[in-house]
Amino acid sequence: LKRLWTSLHFKTEVFQNLNKEDMEKALMSLARESHEEYDCLVVCLLSHGDLGKVYGADSELLDIHEVQSYFYADKCPSLAGKPKLFFIQACQGPEKQTGLNVETDGGILEGWEADGPGKKETIIHNRADFLSGFSTTPGDMSVRLPNKGSIYVSILCRLIKEYANKGQDLLSILTVVNQQVSDLNLKNDSGDPVPIKQVPHPCSTLTKRVVFRRVT
């Protein structure tokens, strides 16, 4: 993750094994900084978790929505109108999901962009311009492979790097991430021959397309 974001011209900082209180302090401190010279914020949280929450090293749960509130427009005005991206590798519950064999017709619906007026002053919704990229759907487990780590993080990093060089926007990239993760048949540790399925769950209030600079 650090290599990816550094290659995309982000200033990066890594924290490891923080308890809940220290995670809160680190993120509050980040929210209090001036971000006038920056175009975007990315926060990656990798831990165990439950629905809408991640665990600190002290096994206390940190609420993701509360953390995001530190960066609302009225609390962090230097990020108002700028994308705030949160990627969460953590279980969102205990459920293991399986799948169903189906036949589908292939097809692509082309996206569209609307022309709009020039720059103008506006009131920005506090919760606008956020993206939460969860590694799995609400209530479900998120799989990590022995010696390989998170399949979600691995595929996410590879595809952002690949498609950033092609000028693709982030939501389009995350759709491909969903496809590639959900295509995998993951071994069921319980001995059940039916494979476990996983699909990431991006949630967006972005008001503009997010396109990263080309990878160096």
* Contact status, residue 174 vs residue 133, Cβ threshold 8 Å: yes
Which run of H or E residues covers position 60? none
Q: Which is the catalytic residue, given 48, 65, 125, 203?
A: 48
201 is catalytic: no
C-alpha 16/C-alpha 46 separation (Å) is: 9
C-alpha 211/C-alpha 8 separation (Å) is: 10
| Residue 4 backbone phi and psi in degrees, to 5 | -60, -55
Q: What is the DSSP letter of 45?
A: E
Strands (E) across 73-135 are located at 84-89, 130-134
CA distances 79 to 26, 35, 146, Å, are: 17, 6, 38
Helices (H), 20-104: 20-32, 64-69
203 is catalytic: no
Q: Which is the catalytic residue, given 91, 125, 157, 203?
A: 91
DSSP string, 153-186: HHHHHHHHHHHHTTT--HHHHHHHHHHHHHT--B
| Residue 46 backbone phi and psi in degrees, to 5 | -120, 115
Q: Which residues are catalytic?
A: 48, 91
